[in-house]
Structure 1
Amino acid sequence: MMLKFAQVLDAQGLARARELLAAGPWQDGRATAGRQAAAVKNNEQLQAGSEAAQQLQALVLQALERQPLFFSAALPKRVLPPLFNRYGGQSNAYGSHVDQAIRYLPGGVQRLRSDISCTLFLSEPEDYDGGELVIEDSFGEQRVKLAAGDLVLYPGSSVHRVEPVTRGTRLASFFWIESMVRSAEQRRLLYDMDQSLMALRAAHGESADTVRLTGCYHNLLRLWAES
């Protein structure tokens, strides 16, 4: 399931993010890539653990908490603190790869299964040429280049790449989620049911049928979730 969410970061949040990103420090993006990904990764990454990175992580995570549809789609159990990358100049692309299945949370003790990958765009699309996130799925390639502040969520198992940036600079945040519901098919069913329930409540209020369907949703979540 690939979903897009508009204006996760508002204008004020974007301005603050760009101010922090300008401060750096930046490093070679291959420092955090696995063996296969490192062979095709050519970008820069904000140094993890830096003051700027910590403030940006808090900014993004707080913005996600204000997105109920994001929670409905991802059903997050753990979220890897967001990372930040930059494409431009000689460090301008990321070839086809699959994200590592297991990531370590800061501290290197707890592990996270990367069920869902997320990219939050921080540059306006007209500020750079190229730089599309290309996601391969059963329906073919999906090319994603969103407005600054918008986010795309897609399966962590997808083969994907970032096309070369030929003009300007592409800034983005990226992170992974371990969902309470491991199965992508089950997450999709729950998300569709939740969206239908919200529409029914808006049209008919808390009717007896809506209450029963809500019970079905939560009983399925109870059956499938790992809390």
Structure 2
Amino acid sequence: MLISIDQVLTKTEVAQFRAELDTADWEDGARTAGTLAKAVKHNQQLQDGSALATRLGQHILRRLAATPLFVSAALPRTIYPPKFNRYADGGEYGAHVDSALMFLPDASRQMRTDLSATLFLAEPEEYEGGVLEVEGPFGVQQVKLAAGDMVLYPSSSLHRVTPVTRGARIASFFWIESLVQDETERTLLFDLDQSVQQFTPLVALGDARLVQLTGVYHNLLRRWSKP
């Protein structure tokens, strides 16, 4: 399931981010790549753990917590602290699959990567290329969203970023360990939750049908979530 989420950040917030990111010190993204990824990863990244990356990442996490569509789709247990990358001058990231397990920055424990997220911080007209291509059961889906919008997709997907031939593509990216590991179960819960939310304003809050639907959702979540 690939889901686009509009306006995780407002245009004002994006402008504030960019004022700092456009003058930041970027390093070679290959430094943080795995053995196989080094051969296909050609971009720049903000230094992990830097004051700027930490501050902007915490702001994103606060906004995500207040974004119902994200919570409904991801059912997050753990979110890897957001990272930041920049593609320019032909920069690209060839086909790859994200690591299944990652140590959190403090190395206290590992997390499973169920979902990957890209939060766009440059408008589509600012750069050429830089399309996120995600392979799924129905073929390749191409994603190039407005600044402030985000896409969620399965971390198990083969994906790539096409070469940026003009301008610069700037984004934040991170991973989510979900309370519900199975993608099919998570998708069913998302569809059911969206139906409940659409039905709610049409009936009284005590309507028996709404109570039953809500009960089904929570009982399935109880059954499928992992401790």
TM-score normalised to structure 1 length: 0.97
Q: Deviations over 1:111-133 (max 9, x none)?
A: 11010000000000000000000
**Hey, what's the Cα distance between the residues in 2 that align with 1:205 and 1:20?**
48
The aligned residue for residue 44 of structure 1 is 44
The aligned residue for residue 204 of structure 2 is 205
The aligned residue for residue 60 of structure 1 is 60
Q: Secondary structure at the match of 2:153?
A: strand
- Structure 2 unaligned spans of 5+: none
Sequence identity of aligned pairs in percent? 52
Structure 1 residue 107 displacement after superposition: 1.2
* Runs of 4+ with >4 A deviation: none
The aligned residue for residue 72 of structure 1 is 72
**Hey, what's the Cα distance between the residues in 1 that align with 2:77 and 2:65?**
13
**Hey, what's the Cα distance between the residues in 2 that align with 1:56 and 1:30?**
22
The aligned residue for residue 111 of structure 1 is 110
Please say if 1:121 is aligned against 2:151: no
Structure 1 residue 89 displacement after superposition: 1.6
Q: Secondary structure at the match of 2:22?
A: helix
**Hey, what's the Cα distance between the residues in 1 that align with 2:23 and 2:57?**
15
Correspondence list, 1:207-226, <5 A: 207-226=207-226
**Hey, what's the Cα distance between the residues in 2 that align with 1:181 and 1:9?**
26
The aligned residue for residue 17 of structure 1 is 17
Q: Deviations over 1:184-205 (max 9, x none)?
A: 0000000000011111111113
Give the total of aligned pairs.
226
The aligned residue for residue 101 of structure 2 is 102
**Hey, what's the Cα distance between the residues in 2 that align with 1:180 and 1:160?**
23
TM-score normalised to structure 2 length: 0.97
Q: Secondary structure at the match of 2:36?
A: helix
Q: CA RMSD of the aligned region, Å? A: 0.9
**Hey, what's the Cα distance between the residues in 2 that align with 1:93 and 1:205?**
52
Structure 1 residue 139 displacement after superposition: 0.4
Structure 1 residue 25 displacement after superposition: 2.2
Q: Secondary structure at the match of 2:60?
A: helix
Correspondence list, 1:124-203, <5 A: 124-203=123-202
Tell me the amino acid that sits aligned with residue 89 of structure 2.
Answer: G
- Structure 1 unaligned spans of 5+: none
Tell me the amino acid that sits aligned with residue 27 of structure 2.
Answer: Q
CA contact (8 A) 1:13 1:59 kept: no
Structure 1 residue 26 displacement after superposition: 1.2
**Hey, what's the Cα distance between the residues in 2 that align with 1:38 and 1:112?**
22
Tell me the amino acid that sits aligned with residue 88 of structure 1.
Answer: A
Q: Secondary structure at the match of 2:9?
A: coil
Q: Secondary structure at the match of 1:211?
A: helix
CA contact (8 A) 1:129 1:166 kept: yes
Tell me the amino acid that sits aligned with residue 16 of structure 1.
Answer: Q
Q: Deviations over 1:74-131 (max 9, x none)?
A: 00000000000000025x1000000000111111121110100000000000000000
Tell me the amino acid that sits aligned with residue 77 of structure 2.
Answer: K
